[in-house]
Amino acid sequence: MNILIMQGPNLNLVGLRSAKSGEQITLDKINRSLRQQANKRPEELTLKILQTHKIEKAMTTIHRNRNWAQGIILAPMAWARYEYALRDCLDTVDPPTIEVFLSKQYESEEDEVTSILSAVCLDSMSGHPLTIFTDALDRLVNHLTE
């Protein structure tokens, strides 16, 4: 099973926000935990992970992987508020997508509340950076194998 992980703008700086709360969370740690969780699953999972600040790159990646990926985990960050082109892309390609938001100390708390993407996503989840991605992976894979 192939899963595309799309990480939006400024997620590479999660360590700066986590340091304010005394934690040492990095994007690398998040991605390692995702790979470890994928390896623990009974299903054979292949993850393709992309972090980008550029909406064009994100959409091109979704377009190019529309036949490869059975599902998407998307951390839209600020895109959740204004990227209608991304919403149209997800609606057109129509992959099962789980939208992920970080707890409010790690990203703008307004993102989840005002997300324009939720309507075209299977689910929206929010939580700690080191667990929300793995929880979303489990949720997506469980959905795909039902």
pLDDT value of position 25: 84
124 lies in which domain range? 2-145
Mean pLDDT across 99-120:
77
CA distances from 88 to 59, 81, 119 (A): 10, 14, 11
pLDDT value of position 23: 74
Quote the pTM value.
Answer: 0.91
Structure tokens at 37: 């969780």
C-alpha torsion sign, points 60, 54, 127, 29: positive
pLDDT value of position 59: 97
The CATH number of residue 139's host domain is 3.40.50.9100
Mean of pLDDT over the chain: 91
DSSP state for residue 66 in the 8-state scheme: T
Q: Count of domains in the chain?
A: 1
Mean pLDDT across 114-121:
93
Query: What's the order of all strands across the beta sheet hosting 46-51?
Result: 46-51, 2-7, 71-75, 97-102, 123-127
The mean-pLDDT minimum among 10-24, 44-58, 94-108 falls in 10-24
Cβ-proximal residues to 131 (8 Å cutoff; 6+ apart), any chain? 33
